[in-house]
Structure 1
Amino acid sequence: MGCELLRPPATSILTMDQDRLPDVYGPGTFTDAVFSSVPGDSARIFRLLASQTPGFTQDESLLSRVTFVGDSDPIIPGPIKSVPIAAALHGMIGLVAHEILSLRGVPNPRRTTGKSGDPAAAPTASRKVAINTNHAALWLASVSLACLDGESFSSLARQGRLRPMLPDWERGWQSNAMRLRATGIYPTKTPGRWYSLHGSLDQPPMLKEVLDIDADEPGIDTHADAASYIAAATQLHSPLELEMKNIAGGFCGSICFTPQEWCDSTMGRALARHPLVNVVPQTHGIPTGPVPFPPFPPKETFPLSGIKVIELTRIIAGPQMGAILSSLGASVIRISAPHLRDINSLQLTLNAGKQTMSLDLRDSSDRAYLLENLLPQADVFIQGFRPGVLDKYGLGLNDLLKMAGERKKGILYVTESCYGPVDGVYASRPGWQQIADCASGAAHVIGRSLGLGDGECVLPALPISDMTAGAVGALGALMALRDRATKGGSYLVHASIVAGNMFALSREVGLYSTEVVAKCKQRFQWGEMRGQHHVLDLLRTVLAAWERDDVVRELLREDIGDEGLFASWEKSAFGGRRLSVLKPVVRFRVAGLGQGEGEAELGVGPEWKTPSVPHGWSTKHDVTF
């Protein structure tokens, strides 16, 4: 049983899976009988995912360029193999970036020679894509791994000193306990069945229409009080009643399914027909020929140098796509809508390497500026809205295909959503990471792994499915840019948050055993994790445990310099303070015959050339493309 994901006929890669124990964490789950190290599993999942991804190379001479190193044991709570999957995706990103470098005439690595430090050709060397799985683990929490003047995000947040440093795009969405706890997992009238509520950063309408609760109810002062008050209201309704109320009101929400229930659902079956990395040539558009990559700027040979990206996104998944592309050299302009909320702290990390501006598409002059000044130059358009939402502004897929045909240069339309492509019955429903985790069964698995009673479901402890979707979208964009350069045409890239969970819960990937989960818990002594907890609560729980661990705490040091995992800029747009963020995971290495991983390759990235800036930092007059 379980989801039958789209995949090619069985190969030796697919038949190497370990035996799996069924239903350990609930119906439709598959648990490893034998433990594999994180780097070893990363290498296996890399080959597995490569074999399941249409258009990804199957050339062994290329696949063997990717190496995985790191500590053996997982450092994230729960049985889901989030780190090996993240590492595998970054390995694929690095390999396609290598293919693009070769297409652009940079086949030989460059490395430091002698004491001068001048880059020189190394004709006997080969480029390796090196993925450190410890780095990949921290990347899953990287939205909160920023430092200002050497002080960590978590320390500043604990002392209440982070908020005054950041421009306010939240506009009170977590101004009281009731509003924050409106996004959580709660019991229903049906014993053992839980429901995921989501306020979409604007909780009062959902609370009132679905639960008849006032978001500013007097006397609800603590988070515990708010959670109890909401739980009392949800327990008056069955899961289906809550689902219908949310659908009728146009709000987010999901029944907490088991993995098997989701796989058996109409939407689960529809999504399983698509590969995780979903790149679709748009053959119905006006034909356009191959588009060679532009000439490199002086002294720069990043894979995506000269590529121009427009990003209309919020929160994590879509901005992560743009951040990865900018680290590979693309010029990214992130556009935020002034009337839509975002999480303030994400400005520190997810805007690295980007220009940002604020445009209101409801305003004709702002819309014209985007359509007439920016989009005609763009190679990639990233959008994080539900299918069809942007059509009314002239930004739908067919609108951009028409533009691409008229300019005789194909475009890449990258879209991320909760439920996936438009052939699924839920495709147009609003959704976020939390909804995807509950719909797919991931929250059910975490709840079972914690040993909670009454079927309580709990989110994975980091924004894993959001981050995974970001990596999937960036990988799809890279593949489409490579293909546009050689075959021409325009491409649709779709990243589904639920699809990433489905892959993680599949039999071929497997889950960690209860013994491995217990060993990880013993090491880190995680704090309490419950259904009512917001993903921000769970993230803080993990960061606190990591900071108590000697090994991980050393990885989190931002003052090591080039040898560490953090990139720093002495002055930032955040009060002029020194800003440090986690470096990109992909590293290119120069290795000659018998040299192993080798030394770092120079001049090709990935790295962010500029620090993060707040949303809306540039204007129409000073943004450059």
Structure 2
Amino acid sequence: MAEASKIPDVYGPGTHTDKTFVPVPQDTERIFRMLAAETPGFTQDEALLSKVKFTGEDFPVIPGPIKAVSVAAALHAMAGVLADEILTLRGAEDKGRQITVNTTQAGFWLGTIAVAHVGGEDVVSLVKQGKTKSLIPDWEQGWTDTPLKYRATALYPTADPAVWYSLHGSMDAPPVLKSIGVDPADAAANASNESAAAHIAQHTSNISPEKLEMTNLLNGLCGSICFTPEQWNNSTMGKSLAAHPVINVKPLSPQTPTAPVAFPPLDPNDKRPLAGVRVLEMTRVIAGPQISTILSSLGADVIRVNPPHLPDINVLQLTLNAGKRTIGLDLRQPEDSAILQSLLKDADVFVQGFRLGKMKKYGLSQDDVAAMAAARGRGIVYVSENCYGPDGYYAERPGWQQIADAAAGSAYVTGRSLNLPNNEAVLPSLPISDMTCGLLGAVGTLKALRDRAVKGGSYSVHSSLVAVNTYALRPEVGLYPREVVKECTERFQWAEMRGQHHVLDLLVTVWDGWKRVFGASYLEEGSGWFQKFDKSEFDGKSLSLLKPVVGFSDKASTPEWKTPSLPYAAQRAAEVKWA
């Protein structure tokens, strides 16, 4: 039925484009209902589903044909419904509590890492002026300190003129560059970002996509062919992932029955849905931290762990640590491992964002944590996020947002929508799969916590970068027609977008378009869309963050952060305890 209202292959094999345009809030309502119906264990009670009200601009606010905003807004609504159920379980009186989701705000949320203000200036302006270097502690270890390192993460042509390839520097670009014959210290290539991209493209153009793929596999590096949606869906990896629901929550195995774990009594001073829930987070970059940033806005007590020897992106400290406490632990050191295990034994949720097999060597695999939960007689929620999904022969392969965008077909579709020659692929313009993968993990965690309180047991939650991409490309979701994409481009006057552009370049392009169209209505600090802290740990300056997307008519329970973001590892690990 869904395919009858679509035009096939407008943006390449395996794409499904709407015949007519539906305003974004209305279309989001449809996608929300579809997701709710497809998710095992999600309520089908119309009284609960009808609490959700979508508002926002009728027209799309991000480039391209993919309905990333509607998918994200629908998932936010699911989080709101689950949070509402948890409030009811906790005895919060339901006097017609309504759940609101603004789809335009959900679009801005996809660019959260830039949609913030420090000391009254927006983050993009601060970055352009180089002011963040003295403002934010440096954890990057020089990962983009030369043009070649910066452009090592981008999409490039191959020896097959019809196929592009996603390279990824993985915050350690020299091995990636050397694997394709590029000298990371080449002075001429490092003259500018443009010369670096041209130099890399010159090398990749002489290598087949199959050889690039095998080179990365042999060296344990990240990379992916820019598949069409049809190619991904027909692949063994795509079929493995498709066997799982997009919101993937299962009993944690090995399962030892444990009694239901009631939520702690609601604190009169904090009536947010997850107040008193303890979350231990060990993640990096965007997707994993976003899981716990959402949970912290809902009231969870989050302790974030960063391994001090691993680089991370500096600017993310401003937004993705909101409401959290932060410590540094090196699990290679026995005393640090003991601290983490001590925190874990009293946690309700463990969120980890490393490769699936990585945690076993530190006693933190799903099996290890399930055994710990069984021994203490109290269930736990184990949350993992990765690129390719929970099983299949790519499950343990490393991957990032850009890899997922290439694998699932999102980059191919975006390139086709820009009418570029030679099947040039282009990344979607924001860290969409990162942010939405984090949202998937948060929704799954809420569902697991609800089920633990009602049925007992421990639960596994898995969120996948590729999964959110493939969902948005499904025929039932649909893509925007070409004329809608064109009108959006003309409205926002987006600058040029090409395969060589880093996602941070594209993010700035989108921000500039938003500022031209919306200005004070949404993006100024005093617009009403930001939560302001008068003082932060970033040079003592004020910090304003985009408010959580979900709102409740019950203001006392509405998601918000009680504390501003902290730098990574801001507190002494040995002194941090659960409240």
Return the TM-score normalized by structure 1.
0.91
Deviation at 1:283, TM superposition (A): 5.4
- CA drift of 1:107 comes to 2.7
Q: Is the 8 A contact 1:279 1:493 kept in 2?
A: yes
Q: Answer whether contact 2:379 2:456 (CA < 8 A) is retained.
A: yes
Distance in 2 (alpha carbons) for counterparts of 1:17 and 1:439:
23
Distance in 2 (CA, whole Å) between partners of 1:345 and 1:285 is 40
CA contact (8 A) 2:253 2:366 kept: no
Q: Does the 8 A contact of 1:66 with 1:129 survive in 2?
A: yes
| Equivalent of 2:136 in 150, 166, 169 | 166
Which residue of 479, 489, 493 maps to 1:511?
479
* Contact 2:343–2:577 (Cα < 8 Å) also in 1: no
Counterpart CA distance in 2 for 1:483 and 1:579 is: 36
- Gap regions ≥5 residues in structure 1: 1-14, 109-124, 590-600
Query: What code does the residue aligned with 2:306 have?
Result: S
Partner of 2:236: 266
**Are the aligned partners of 1:283 and 1:489 in contact in 2 as well (CA < 8 Å)?**
no
> How far does residue 129 in structure 1 lie from its aligned partner after superposition?
0.6
Kindly tell me the number of residue pairs found equivalent between the two proteins. 577
Q: Work out the CA distance in 1 between the residues paired with 2:478 and 2:256.
A: 43
Partner of 2:354: 385
**Higher helix proportion (structure 1 or 2):** 2
Answer whether contact 2:68 2:432 (CA < 8 A) is retained: yes
Q: How far apart are the structure 1 equivalents of 2:266 and 2:4?
A: 46
1:51 counterpart = 2:37:
yes
The answer for the alignment partner of 1:609 in structure 2 is 562
What does 1:186-225 correspond to in 2, within 5 Å? Answer: 186-208=156-178, 210-219=179-188, 220-225=190-195
**Residue correspondence of structure 1 range 97-246 to structure 2 within 5 A:** 97-108=83-94, 125-208=95-178, 210-219=179-188, 220-246=190-216
- Pairwise CA distance, 1:298: 4.0
Q: Which amino acid aligns with 2:103?
A: T
Q: Deviations 1:418-444 (Å, cap 9, x if unpaired)?
A: 00012x111110000000000000000
Match of 1:568 in 2: 532
Quickly say closer, same or farther: Cα 1:193–1:283, change in 2 above 3 A.
closer
Residue in structure 1 matched with residue 545 of structure 2 by the alignment: 581
The one-letter code matched in structure 1 to 2:545 is: V
Alignment-derived partner of residue 624 in structure 1: 577
CA distance in 1, matches of 2:81, 2:174: 46
For the 8 Å contact 2:226–2:411, the answer to whether it is kept is: yes
| Partner of residue 410, structure 1 | 379
Matching of residue 487 in structure 1 with residue 482 in structure 2: no
- The structural deviation recorded for 1:192 is 1.5
Question: Which structure 2 residues correspond to residues 348-359 of structure 1 after superposition, within 5 A?
Answer: 348-359=318-329
Q: Say whether the 8 Å CA contact 2:3–2:16 is kept in structure 1.
A: no
* 1:302-324 residue CA offsets vs partner (Å, 9 max, x unmatched): 11011000001011111000000
Map of 1:8 onto structure 2: none
Paired residue for 1:121? none
What's the secondary structure of 1:46's corresponding residue?
Answer: helix
Paired residue type of 1:578: S
1:309 matches 2:276: no
Letter in 1 for 2:369: L
Q: Does 2:497 match 1:529?
A: yes
Q: Could you report, residue by residue, the CA deviation over 1:322-381 in whole angstroms, capped at 9, with x for unpaired residues?
A: 00000000000000001111110000000000000000011110001111x200110000
User: What's the secondary structure of 1:142's corresponding residue?
Assistant: coil
Give the conservation status (yes or no) of the 8 Å contact 2:27–2:70: yes
Q: 1:473 maps to which residue?
A: 441
SS at match of 1:474: helix
In the alignment, the residues of structure 2 paired with residue 553 and residue 538 of structure 1 have an alpha-carbon distance, to the nearest angstrom, of: 22
User: Is residue 40–residue 68 contact of structure 1 (8 Å, CA) maintained in 2?
Assistant: yes
Q: What SS class does the counterpart of residue 339 from structure 1 fall into?
A: coil
The Cα of 1:282 is off from its aligned counterpart by 2.4
Deviation at 1:17, TM superposition (A): 7.4
Contact 2:383-2:462 within 8 A present in 1 as well? yes
Matched-pair contact (CA < 8 Å) for 1:262–1:268: yes
SS of residue paired to 1:196: strand
Residue equivalent to 1:559: 526
Match of 2:365 among 375, 396, 408: 396
Superposition pairs for residues 420-499 of structure 1, below 5 Å? 420-422=389-391, 424-499=392-467
The two structures have a TM-score, normalised by structure 2, of 0.98
Matching residue within 467, 470, 483 for 1:502: 470
1:47-75 superposed Cα distances (whole Å, 9 cap, x missing partner): 00001100100111111111101110001
Kindly provide the CA deviation profile for residues 76-112 of structure 1, in whole angstroms up to 9, marking residues without a partner as x.
Answer: 000000111111000000000000000000032xxxx
Shift of the 160–18 alpha-carbon distance from structure 1 to 2, 3 Å rule, reads farther
Read off the aligned partner of 1:348 and give its amino acid letter.
L
Does the CA-based 8 Å contact 2:452-2:458 persist in structure 1?
yes
Structure 2 equivalent of residue 85 of structure 1: 71
Matched residue type, 1:46: F
Calculate percent identity across the aligned residue pairs: 55
Paired amino acid for 2:338: A
5 Å matches for 1:334-373? 334-371=304-341, 373=342
Distance 1:145 1:624 in 2: 31
SS in 2 for 1:144: coil
CA distance in 1, matches of 2:124, 2:256: 50
Kept in 1, the 8 Å contact 2:252–2:382? The answer is no
Question: How far apart are the structure 2 equivalents of 1:67 and 1:366?
Answer: 46
C-alpha separation in 2, matches of 1:555 and 1:620: 38
Instruction: Give the AA of the match of 2:448.
Output: A
2:50 and 2:202 map into 1 onto residues whose CA distance is 55
3-state SS of paired residue (1:333): strand
Displacement of 1:547: 1.1
> Which is further off, 242-251 or 136-145?
136-145
CA contact (8 A) 2:306 2:329 kept: yes
Q: Deviations over 1:558-598 (max 9, x none)?
A: 124xxx11001111000000001101000001xxxxxxxxx
Give yes or no for the alignment of 1:35 onto 2:21: yes
Q: Which amino acid aligns with 2:112?
A: S
1:419–1:496 CA contact under 8 A, matched in 2 = yes
What is the alpha-carbon root mean square deviation over aligned residues?
1.0
Which residue pairs with 1:597 in the alignment? none
Aligned counterparts of 1:504 and 1:25: Cα–Cα separation in 2: 14
What letter is aligned with 2:291?
A: M
